[in-house]
Amino acid sequence: MRTLADWLAHLESLHPKGQAGIELGLERVARVKAQLGQRESCPVIIVGGTNGKGSTCAYLDHILSYSGYRTGCYASPHLLAYNERVRLDREPVADAPLCDAFARVEAARVAAGDVALTYFEFGTLAAWEVFAAANVDVAILEVGLGGRLDAVNVYEPDVSVVTGIALDHTDWLGPDRESIGREKAGIFRAGRPAICADPQPPQSLVDHATAIGADLQLIGRDFGYFGDKTQWTWWGRNNLRRGGLANPGIRGSQQLANASAALAALDAVKAKLPVDMQSVRRGLIEIELAGRFQLVPGKPAVVLDVAHNPQAVGVLAANLGDMGFYAKTHAVVGMLADKDVGGALAALAGKVDHWHLATLAVPRGATAETLAQAIAGQNLGGSVDLHADPAAAFAAARKAAGEDDRILAFGSFYTVAAVMRALKERP
């Protein structure tokens, strides 16, 4: 019997680029889906967008679970264990049902003509198998890359959410927001609610929704929020209000927009999945999502954030400004080479005292030297040290930081995962 580690090695072996392999398209995954006999027997919510997908999925997962529904949530990538990608009732699935699902997908893949699935495609089909076996009441699926040709788009959503659109994955999705918006709008469906939380959506997204007859709901026009630092109110169509809401448990200024998108999606499917206000409040507050402006208690303060593109790092910079006084900021950074490294780092110009730059020894990983060139070329300020990997960079930052300083680890899921492992290992 294969262990989970065996299965993950097998998944990587199916594509020449392993876990990092990207091959967009629905034909392969649709063939294996049909072979498995998978069908949508419960409401499906698909969530896409450049940033904020994971937070929005987490809000939906928590609110619906607290409302008494059996929830299945598929999100990626993971930080410490693959099981994080497939959650049942807010908890990572155990190894055994995940391995059973992998076995069923593998048998169907071979029977369908030895289809060469990517790591993400195989995992997507397996997640659905887990959800079907658990007889979930709702499936929440996070888009991996883009939308139109992403594996999760093989499933038919009752409501689709696009959180926001910024420049990322331009090699695959196009060089500008209009191109990227068109790809992300591919998760919309004719006659179905289509939620968009981008305050200035690309015209391509609006045009596509109109062309197919989707029920497009835009933040600021059809739903939104207002409030202060103590509580806030969500508003939607038909003068609907959900007031007296505490600020979400996930920190950061962008979280009200993400939470608002989740509430708009829930309102759109309330005929099938009604939720009560107590569950809404509890779902917003009793939530933690690792690596999303996560503050680790202690001195010096440690902030973990998976921000890896200019928009996300810009939000991170704003959140840092709201934290209060710290004597110095030490940044532990590792990034992938296909990201806008210069644009992302520029958002922290003048805000970092010491840069601890790490090489990511993974496919597409950038070297510490590449990051250093971006910092020097833009005169971002601060001293610079180069390290072989994120663990070494974090160790150096901890050694250099005083009690009144803070350490910021960001730039990639790989970077944050390495720092999280180091934090678990420290005495």
pLDDT in tens, 230-266: 899 999 999 999 999 989 988 877 899 999 999 999 9
- Give how far the C-alpha of residue 44 lies from the chain's centroid of Cα atoms, to the nearest Å: 18
15 lies in the same domain as 46? yes
Q: Provide the sign of the torsion angle of the four alpha carbons 163, 169, 174, 175, taken in this order.
A: positive
225 lies in the same domain as 362? no
What mean pLDDT value characterizes the chain? 92
CA gap 382, 121 in Å, rounded: 42
146 lies in the same domain as 236? yes
The H-or-E segment that residue 361 falls in is: none
CA gap 129, 123 in Å, rounded: 10
- Which of 267, 285, 303 finishes a domain? 285
| pLDDT of res. 251 | 82
Instruction: List the end-to-end C-alpha distance of the chain, in Å, as a whole number.
Output: 36
- Which of 243, 262, 285 finishes a domain? 285
Convert the pLDDT of each residue in 325-370 to its tens digit. Answer: 999 999 999 999 988 899 999 999 999 999 999 999 988 899 999 9
Alpha helices in 214-274 (DSSP H): 255-268
| pLDDT of res. 49 | 92
280 lies in the same domain as 367? no
Relative orientation angle of helices 277-285 and 255-268, to the nearest 10 degrees: 150
| Contact status, residue 97 vs residue 123, Cβ threshold 8 Å | no
Q: Is the pLDDT assigned to residue 169 strictly greater than 80?
A: no
Confidence of residue 95 (pLDDT cuts 50, 70, 90): very high
For the residues of 270-317, what is the DSSP string, one character each? TTTS---HHHHHHHHHS---TTSSEEEPSSSEEEE----SHHHHHHHH
224 lies in the same domain as 151? yes
| pLDDT of res. 175 | 63
Q: How far is CA 152 from CA 71, 145, 267, in A?
A: 17, 10, 22
276 lies in the same domain as 337? no
* 164 vs 302 pLDDT, higher one: 302
| pLDDT of res. 147 | 85
| pLDDT of res. 424 | 87
Query: Does residue 19 sit in helix, strand or coil?
Result: helix
CA gap 337, 340 in Å, rounded: 8
95 lies in the same domain as 167? yes
253 lies in the same domain as 353? no
Q: How many domains does the chain have?
A: 2
- Which of 241, 264, 285 finishes a domain? 285
| pLDDT of res. 171 | 59
299 lies in the same domain as 364? yes
Convert the pLDDT of each residue in 182-223 to its tens digit. Answer: 889 999 999 999 999 999 999 999 999 999 999 999 999 999
CA gap 335, 251 in Å, rounded: 22
Instruction: Kindly report the CATH number assigned to the domain that includes residue 46.
Output: 3.40.1190.10
| pLDDT of res. 170 | 53
127 lies in the same domain as 249? yes
Could you count the other beta carbons within 10 Å of the beta carbon of residue 100? Answer: 15
- What domain range includes position 231? 4-285
| Contact status, residue 350 vs residue 381, Cβ threshold 8 Å | yes
137 lies in the same domain as 46? yes
Amino acid at 57: C
User: Which range is least confidently modeled, 167-181, 270-284, 381-395?
Assistant: 167-181
User: Which of 94-103, 295-304, 310-319 reaches the highest mean pLDDT?
Assistant: 94-103
Query: Does residue 153 sit in helix, strand or coil?
Result: helix
CA-based nearest residue to 420, from 262, 272, 306, 311: 306
Amino acid at 261: A
Convert the pLDDT of each residue in 55-93 to its tens digit. Answer: 999 999 999 999 999 999 999 999 999 999 999 999 999
Instruction: Kindly report the CATH number assigned to the domain that includes residue 314.
Output: 3.90.190.20
Sheet holding 224-227, edge to edge: 224-227, 231-235, 241-246
- What is the token pair recorded at 265? 């999606």
201 lies in the same domain as 342? no
